[in-house]
Amino acid sequence: MFPAVPGQSPHGRRSAAYNLSWMIPTPRYALVAYLRNPVGEFVEHLRNQLHPEHPHLAAHLTVLPPRVLQGSELSAREVLEEVCSQVEAFTVTLGDVETFCPLTPTVFIRVAHAAYRMRELHDRLNTGALAFPEDWPYMPHLTIVKLSDEAQAQQAYQVASERWNAFEGSRKIQVSELIFVREEKQNRWVDLAGVRLGRQLVTPR
């Protein structure tokens, strides 16, 4: 309930509540593939060192970058079911560490081999309730860290490159399950549902 204001009618309070609803931000959604393997552990450990404020962010490949839905969550899940049931799991191979500077102070690992499979999946899913005009051309990658300015990003790039060059584990990533996520607040995302490629059923999280 809104507190009573002297001299203000109940209609005025209802109007204030109505106007406040317009200030609530529209939630954003994304589609990711989590990396629950040595590469994921490597990236999360490195991110914790480079940017301790964001240690909670799970390592992932982004299939659909953050977007506002063009419909309901239910209709978005229906798109996921339809598209993902027609796509088989596939494997990609990670390449070198790069940055998006000067566009954004982000350090990432490029998907070097079979990136076309992720682009095809992105294009097929970017439809219906999930359709959204991308700010930048979609490029498959694994984000290591996003910093506040280019100077910090360049320093992080040097460290990340040295660590990644010394990484002795496999750089192959199996893409078999996608997770539909919603942004609860800045840099905080909650899992809504998971769908395995080649399967129709979307399972709640």
Q: How confident is the model at residue 123 (pLDDT cuts 50, 70, 90)?
A: very high
**pLDDT per residue over 97-114, tens digit each?**
999 999 889 999 999 999
Mean pLDDT taken over the chain: 87
In angstroms, the CA 8 to CA 170 distance is: 67
End-to-end, the C-alpha distance of the chain in Å comes to 32
Q: What is the pLDDT of residues 15-43, one digit of tens each?
A: 444 454 445 578 999 999 999 999 999 99
The reply to whether the predicted model has a pTM over 0.85 is no
d(C-alpha 192, C-alpha 176), whole Å: 17
∠ Cα 154 155 160 (to 5°): 95
Fold of 27-200: Cyclic Phosphodiesterase; Chain: A, (3.90.1140)
**Looking at residue 25, what is its pLDDT?**
75
Domains in the chain: boundaries: 27-200
| pLDDT tens digits, 142-193 | 999 999 899 999 999 999 999 999 999 999 999 999 999 999 887 789 999 9
